[in-house]
Structure 1
Amino acid sequence: MTPASSDLLAELTGRTEDMVRDVLALCRIESPSDSLTAQHAVADLAEELGSVLFGRRPERIVEHGRPALLWAPEPGGVLLLGHLDTVWPTGTLAHWPVPQRTEHALSAPGVFDMKAGVVQGWYALHAIGAPRGCGMLLNTDEEIGSPDSRALIERAAAGSRAVLVLEPSADGALKTGRKGASRYQVAVTGRAAHAGLDPANGINALLELADQVRDIAALSAGEVTVVPTLARAGTTTNTIPAEALVHIDARFPTLRAQRAVDTRIRALIPYRSGASVRVSGGPDCPPMEPSQSAELFRLAQRAARTLGLAELTATTVGGASDGNTTAALGIPTLDGLGAVGACAHAEGEYALIAEMPRRAALVAELVTALLAASDQDP
């Protein structure tokens, strides 16, 4: 039987020390995305901890040597989504103080993004009896765009009633929108010539690239950001550059804006006779638009009020997550249900201890409401 809301929050508050213990255990295993050895080590511990709380073992799925853990929900159920990899390289713990606990917070590499959220999800489901209608997928390559696990995410989420993403909150706010991302490489080919003896016979690819970069940057408008980032050109200091290349990071609040910029970038033409411009890359992930989270956010607000928690707020953020992938499938998706804290990807990253049982209770109450609504569907 699912406990009453007041009992649910009390039960999870009473498990705070257990959550702290498990979060710190996960954080003591360094798990940078680029180390398969590290990913298997953290997956081993996550499988052990999660199985105790779920009451069943996950399916361990390995793609290109990279592990993922799936506690599959029943068809039409709810999927919790998270990741075990971090941005912190192996060796970070050697110069970061041992994962710290202060009176109010836990500080460790990956604690906020997003090992605390993973643990909160386990305890949330345990508190409501680990219903078969709710499952969890944990991958190990989210921080690098989920290249190996994206297809798995799509398969695991297919047919779900909702996806709840255990990524960290944004100053406590849930993430009802995430910008989509596109990545391009714009390559320019010119013609080499001696910079001192015969510059007029060359076609300067660097100057051509500069003109292209100006036009590309001008595509930024409002919430749409189109940013030239990494560039290179030339071979020697006394040669007109025959080749130049720039990488572009573009972010969009809507699919319509993403498609419009894609059309513009692919239509680039050279300014200089004899030069050529080649565009590669394209949309990397679609945006998660607030309309796709609206109903779930209303349910979350209701759950928070039922639990006696502070009123929830919502925001749209620039970074993408695996929630973008599930939202693109047309599945209602709500993000930012994990840790409350700050300093993701930065020294001093932390998660607030007092918020851990509260956010776990919020997830538990939200899952309970979604499964109850599913039972009432004809």
Structure 2
Amino acid sequence: MSPHRIESLARAALPEMTDDLRMLVEHETPSDDKELLNAGLAAVEAWAYERLGPPDEARRHDGGPHGDMLELLYRGTSPATVLVLCHYDTVWPAGTLAKWPFHVAEDGRASGPGVFDMKSGLMQAVWALRLLRELDLPRPAVRLFLNGDEEIGSPASRPYVERLSEDTVATLVCEAAAGPEGALKTARKGGGIFELTVDGVESHAGLDPERGASAVHALAELVPRIVALGSPELGTTVNVGVIGGGTARNVVAGQAHCGIDVRIAVPAEADRIDTALAALRPTDTRVRATLTGGWNRPPMVPGPASELLFKQAQTIAADLGWTARETSVGGASDGNFVAALGRPVLDGLGGVGDGAHARHEHVLLAHIPARTALIAGLLMACATR
């Protein structure tokens, strides 16, 4: 059956899908609020059961201080298994919804905290499987994995993502699409989060300035050296995004610190950056620099199997009357973990819109039927592998 049929059904169901999206957005799920995450996951689980029926297998994994994970397996018509990754946490703090409620504008833009990143993708994934099941079309077993700590680096869920992707023919990541054309994400940069702490020697800035060794001055010396580690030609960026220290204007600062964000497109760059950061030393030998932190996600570099997945997406999109484009982005996702293991993965299958992590976050409702049909089409293609 042509994906056109699925898209047509999704278009007819768009009001209901929009209501589902509203429900997901109206359950606030900030990554740092365990109570809200628990309530949000309970709502998502009840909704998934309502839309898809009871799963063949269901497991909830304890995230500790972070959001729990929910693993739902729906068997298909073939022995193949596809892992579908969605996160239900958002970057928006509790209470955001009160000042920024879910809203659909006259031009079809739906806005609200987390609507683009990535509750629209979660909604589309469930509806894609629902339509395949309703039409009794060929489909693989679908293992839907929902985690509540993606926005903070997936510290609890990473081992599950890596394990569950092992015996699958593909991993589909329903993160938001890129740009106004809704490009699919075939490559992502890896990321590192580091903290540099500088300890100096305090003294009175007027009475005994020579006895002090300023941590603030030393950090000011080191920051340009840190930023200079970036390599635009290799896709490596280094940003010092947070800085602080000292106690008073008339005190030679005894302590200072900065937060460093590193993005790499080439895996080998991790070793270069590690070596360079570890070698940082202030000119004043009385000052000590201590580096903490590390790499959060490896780069997502497409292999042959992932490239084949994208080509299948291109064919499905062409059948639907639009052109699927690919892009590389600076942000990371759980797909990075899968790609680093050499397994097939395709990302950016979620909503088309803009404004991830920003107040203009929105999705374009008109694109939802086609994106849902694309996910369904990929699932059908995976069923024959």
> What is the aligned partner in structure 2 of residue 150 from structure 1?
158
- Note the aligned Cα RMSD (angstroms): 2.0
Q: Secondary structure at the match of 2:253?
A: coil
Write the distance in 2 (CA, Å) between the matches of 1:47 and 1:199: 62
Task: Compute the displacement of 1:61 (Å).
Answer: 2.3
What residue number does 2:116 align with? 112
Q: Tell me whether 1:345 sits opposite 2:357 in the alignment.
A: yes
Q: What are the ranges of 5 or more consecutive residues in structure 2 without an aligned counterpart? A: none
* Displacement of 1:182: 0.7
Q: Contact conserved, 2:313 with 2:378, CA < 8 A, in 1?
A: yes
The residue that corresponds to 1:314 in the other structure is: 326
2:259 matched residue in structure 1: 247
Whether the 8 Å contact between 1:188 and 1:209 is mirrored in structure 2 is yes
Equivalent AA in structure 2 for residue 244 of structure 1: A
Q: Quote the Cα distance in structure 2 between the aligned partners of 1:282 and 1:95.
A: 36
- Identify which of 175, 190, 193 aligns with 1:167: 175
Could you say what secondary structure the match of 1:27 adopts?
helix
- Which residue type is aligned with residue 318 of structure 2? R
Q: Which residue of structure 2 lines up, in the alignment, with residue 208 of structure 1?
A: 218
Match of 1:91 among 92, 95, 102: 95
Conserved in 2, the CA contact under 8 Å of 1:72 and 1:156? no
Question: Which of 8-17 and 179-188 deviates more?
Answer: 8-17
String of CA shifts for 1:267-314, please: whole Å, max 9, x gaps: 2223113222221112111111244742221111012123x2310111
24, 28, 31: which one aligns with 1:30: 28
Distance in 1, matches of 2:275 and 2:303, equals 25
CA-to-aligned-CA distance 1:310-367 (integer Å, 9 cap, x gap): 1011111111111112222222111110001112222232211121110010011111
Amino acid aligned to 2:154:
S
- What residue number does 2:379 align with? 367
CA shift for structure 1 position 9? 2.2
Aligned twin of 2:249: 237
SS of 2:61 mapped into structure 1:
strand
1:50 matched to 2:21: no
Alignment correspondent of 1:276: 288
Determine the C-alpha separation between the residues in 1 that align with 2:125 and 2:99: 30
Q: Are the equivalent residues in 2 in contact too, given 1:117–1:166 (CA < 8 A)? A: yes
Q: How far does residue 259 in structure 1 lie from its aligned partner after superposition?
A: 2.2
Partner of 1:325: 337
1:304 aligns with 2:323: no
Secondary structure in 2 aligned to 1:135? strand
- 1:121 maps to 125
Q: Is the 8 A contact 1:27 1:99 kept in 2?
A: no
Post-superposition CA distance 1:54-85 (Å, at most 9, x none):
33233222221632221137785211101111
Q: 1:97 to 1:280 in 2, by over 3 A?
A: closer
Structure 1 position 22, deviation (Å): 0.9
| One-letter amino acid matched to 1:174 | L
Task: Name the CA shift for 1:133/1:88 in 2 (closer, same or farther; >3 Å).
Answer: same
Partner amino acid, structure 2, of 1:40:
N
Residue 72 of structure 1 is matched in structure 2 by 73
Q: Which runs of 5+ in 1 are unaligned?
A: 374-378
Q: Output the amino acid matched with 2:307.
A: A
- Secondary structure (helix, strand or coil) at the match of 2:218 reads helix
The answer (yes or no) to whether the contact 1:106–1:350 under 8 Å persists in 2 is yes
Q: Percent identity?
A: 38
Query: How far, CA to CA, are the matches of 1:272 and 1:119 in structure 2?
Result: 56
Instruction: Tell me, in whole angstroms, the C-alpha distance in 2 between the residues paired with 1:259 and 1:23.
Output: 42
Give the letter for the 1:125 counterpart.
L
In structure 2, the residue matched to 1:7 is 5
Counterpart of 2:188, as a letter, is R
Amino acid at match of 2:348: G
